[in-house]
Amino acid sequence: MLEVTINGRTYWVSEGKTILQAAGEVGVDIPALCADDRLEPFGACRLCLVEVVGAPKPVVTACTTPVAPGMVIETETQRVVELRRGVLELLLSNHPNDCMLCEQAGHCILQDLAYRYQVRRNAYPGERRPALPEDPNPFIAFDNEKCILCGRCVRTCDEVQGVGAIDFLGRGFGTTVGTGYPGGLEESPCEFCGQCVAACPTGALTDKKSRGLGRVHEVRRVKTTCGYCGTGCTMYLRVKDHRIVGVDPDFASPVTGGALCVKGRYGYDYVHSPDRLTRPLIRRHGTLEPASWEEAYAYVAENLRRIREESGPDALGAITSSRATNEDNYAIQKLFRVPIGTHNVDNCART
């Protein structure tokens, strides 16, 4: 642990941390657009500038500067605030002012920082970033005009997912984010996990399936567990008018740390499918007919008992599902091994 002073108060912070990480440990907020706890320091946005009293170069980026013993740090001096305002003015001068129509309005870090530092004017008129043709993939939308080149999407795809489907293309003012493949994301190694969308601090990357279905203040987030496999990824469903309109990762998940696959993030249409079974069906006289849960339980129990008595326990078997919980799978194998008396138990994942 190291002793440092932040905004006049002394703290003990972990050795080896950056100023940004150390400040976060003790509850001091330093704004940043390119930083992410899952990623290596990048220093692209320059919004995390702080002053280190007595240092040869007092103004440093908090996300790339490690803490040192006895360091005295000021995070909100007039000089720092003016520098941050200048950076925000540069970003907003090349950013469309369409927050009223943006999908991320109310959930945009750039918007929050502009409000925090009262930046409302376009101080540098001139050339703007051009709009690009929409990528034809079914899940992820990219708006080049709103991209601030923070690199969070590129680095998340590379450092977290290990896929490297996207990267910076071009140089200078013409730099953009893309795949380098003529067919876009569908022809790239992209797995459509949506991690890039979750990492984006603006409205540059959004979910196509959620567009126009609800603003941040109109939806409620319901924490749940993905039902597609047995990994147990937790996530938040975005719900409006009792319908799922999108999915957000749970970055506090002890299972995957917020990672989701394409099914977990975008495969929620089945929930509202008219073909989805919502009650048990029992085949009577060759036709499946609706039944109550009590009828279904009694029907299964009666037939399990009948087959066991007529043909012996090995005439029965159970195939469990990886979509069920470990506890459910344990219970079904216990049922067949002990009261029924057979070891004919298998799991669909083995095939």
For residue range 178-231, what is the model confidence (pLDDT) as tens digits?
998 888 999 999 999 999 999 999 999 999 999 999 888 899 999 999 888 878
Rg of the Cα atoms in the chain: 27
Of the pLDDT bands very low, low, confident and very high (cuts 50, 70, 90), residue 351 is low
DSSP for 170-227, written as a single string: SSGGG-EEE-S-TTGGGGSS-----HHHHH-SSSSEEEGGGTTS--GGG-EEEEEE--
For residue range 270-321, what is the model confidence (pLDDT) as tens digits?
999 999 898 999 999 999 999 999 999 999 999 999 999 999 999 999 999 8
For residue range 69-81, what is the model confidence (pLDDT) as tens digits?
999 999 999 999 9
Assess whether pLDDT exceeds 90 at residue 256: no
Q: Could you say which DSSP state residue 18 is in?
A: B
Residue 151 contacts residue 200 (beta carbons within 8 Å): no
Structure tokens at 306: 């009948």
For residue range 315-339, what is the model confidence (pLDDT) as tens digits?
999 999 877 888 889 999 999 999 9
Residue spans of beta strands (DSSP E) within the chain = 2-6, 9-13, 49-52, 59-61, 72-74, 140-142, 167-169, 176-178, 205-207, 220-225, 234-240, 243-249, 281-284, 287-290, 318-320, 345-347
Domains and CATH numbers, the chain: 2-76 (3.10.20.740), 212-274 (2.20.25.90), 281-350 (no CATH)
What local confidence, expressed as pLDDT, does residue 29 receive? 94
